[in-house]
Structure 1
Amino acid sequence: MKDIEHVFFDLDHTLWDFEKNSDLAFQKVFNRNNITIELEVFLKIYKPVNFKYWKLFSEEKVTKSELRYGRLKDTFDVLNYTVSDDLIDEIAINYLEFLPDFNHLFDGTFEILDYLKEKYELHVITNGFDEVQHKKLKSSNIHHYFNKIITSESVGAKKPNPKVFNYALDLAKADKDNSIMIGDNLDADVQGALSVGMQAIYCNFENNTSINGEFISVNSLIEIKQYL
């Protein structure tokens, strides 16, 4: 790790606590739109549906608008909750509007960023929507740590597509040999980075014991200090 000069972070599920913030955003959305389903019941169905749609989105099999509509429509259908397309559109808009209002970060985020900022140039590579991701970074007060922020929308491709990583390296004036990617997704972050010759650190926050490969695995952000 002595040759590392550039550290690229994923955002959601790595630094920014997506699950907690998303739950809070949906509570606000439900209150605004008088949705009478219990939030816990809705989220139990929604989360795996959302995961499925994001996987399809990363594989470029659905569009941004299809993701935003489909994940809600499918969830309400499973719950047999009648809702108009206009209301689904309103919920989708409200959700993305409210999501950056909540700024819970994983334990150790500020500590590890303060530590790394003194030694490396820091950047973000995220598959999230451009405007929303920038708002998240600013509302959680970590925007200033990063020199370059690369979103899939700005590139026109999504991790693990090599185009994203090569674009990020070029934008940061970095080389694959002096760069490392840190993220929670084995396919999008870790394998995506390895495929272009970068090193990678896997944020194994769920303590998945079956994980192995040619990359470092950490169970907390602070553990990164042992390697960088």
Structure 2
Amino acid sequence: MDEIKFIYFDHVGTLVYIKKDLPTIVYEVLKEFNYNFSFLEVKRAYDSAENYWERKYLKARYKWNKNIAYDYYSFLFDELGIKEHLDEMIEILYNEWHKRSGASVYPDVIPCLNYLLMKGKNLGIIAQTILNEEDFRKERLRKEGLEYYFSIVITTASIGFEKPDVRLYKKAIELTSYKPNEIMIIGDNYDLDVKVPLSLGVKAILLDRKGETKYDCPKINSLLEIDKFIK
């Protein structure tokens, strides 16, 4: 077994769970302002806004900020034909997403991270998010109590490539200064977090919390089982 020197974690679904996704939060905010759209209508507008974001901002590697958020949500609301209360609703969505999402850290996360640091491992995150690294640290990791565990924080917005783009994972490997076989990546989605890293020679582990996956790859059901892959 090669000695693992650096370990990357996926974020949502691996370290934290989200009780409400963005379409649900948008749907609820609209209700608060007495707009009676169906959830399906909101989801369609959200999907269009995501495509708009990818075309206009992601490929150009713009950093998520309040102006871009305003443009993003304005596009979403325009898809629904909404012209009133834009500033108020966008302010709520920009400032209160994390609180409204109910993002919570899984119980096995802190014990796992403390164990790995005690073993002298270097830790990082590869997060699929529209936030740049600085904002992700401040708006996500700090609020979740995870900010100081990770020496490298990679967001897809900062790198400019979405999971599972091989260029994202090649950059992640490069940033560690370690060889692929000295790096581990842990995530809860085989196609997004595991398949491509395995092809690059990284020790990728599928976190299958429900024990339901049939993928033939290294897997664990809890982060507390990671010790069997660590020297």
Match of 1:188, SS?
helix
Distance, in Å, in 1 between the alignment partners of 2:47 and 2:107 is 23
Note if 1:184 corresponds to 2:188. yes
The alpha-carbon deviation at position 136 of structure 1 amounts to 0.8
CA–CA distance in structure 2, aligned partners of residues 177 and 73 of structure 1: 47
Query: Which of 172, 175, 182 does residue 176 from structure 2 map onto?
Result: 172
Q: 1:96 to 1:14 in 2, by over 3 A?
A: farther
What secondary structure sits across from 1:3 in the alignment? coil
- 1:201 alignment partner, SS class: strand
Specify the alignment match of 1:163 in structure 2: 167
Residues 128-139 of structure 1: pairs in structure 2 closer than 5 A: 128-131=129-132, 133-134=136-137, 135-139=139-143
RMSD after superposition: 3.9
The 2-side partners of 1:202 and 1:46 are apart by: 32
In structure 2, distance between residues paired with 1:70 and 1:14 = 31
Asked if 1 retains the 8 angstrom alpha-carbon contact of 2:207 and 2:219, the reply is yes
Instruction: State the alpha-carbon separation in 2 of the partners of residues 208 and 46 from structure 1.
Output: 31
Letter in 1 for 2:25: F
Q: Aligned AA for 1:97?
A: N
Which amino acid in 1 is paired with 2:164? P
Give the secondary-structure state (helix, strand or coil) at the position aligned to 2:196. helix
Q: Deviations along 1:43-99, whole A, 9 cap, x unmatched?
A: x88679979987x79xx6786689x5599669xx9xxxx650666786566334322
Give TM-score, length-normalised by structure 2: 0.72
TM (norm. structure 1) is 0.73
Query: Which structure would you say has the larger Rg?
Result: 2
The 5 Å alignment of 1:104-123 reads 104-119=104-119, 120-123=121-124
Alpha-carbon distance between aligned partners in 1 of 2:179 and 2:90, rounded to the nearest angstrom? 38
Identity of aligned residues (%): 24
C-alpha distance in 2 between matches for 1:200 and 1:94: 38
Q: Aligned equivalents of 2:206 and 2:143: distance in 1?
A: 25
SS in 2 for 1:130: coil
Q: Deviations over 1:107-160 (max 9, x none)?
A: 211111111122210000112122453211110110100000011111111121
2:49/2:76 contact within 8 Å kept: no
Gaps of 5+ in 1: none
Where does residue 211 of structure 2 map in the other structure?
207
Unaligned runs of 5+ residues in structure 2 are 59-67
- Quick one: structure 1 residues 46 and 107, their matched pair in 2 at CA, closer, same or farther if it must change by over 3 Å? farther
Output the CA distance in 1 between the equivalents of 2:204 and 2:74.
32
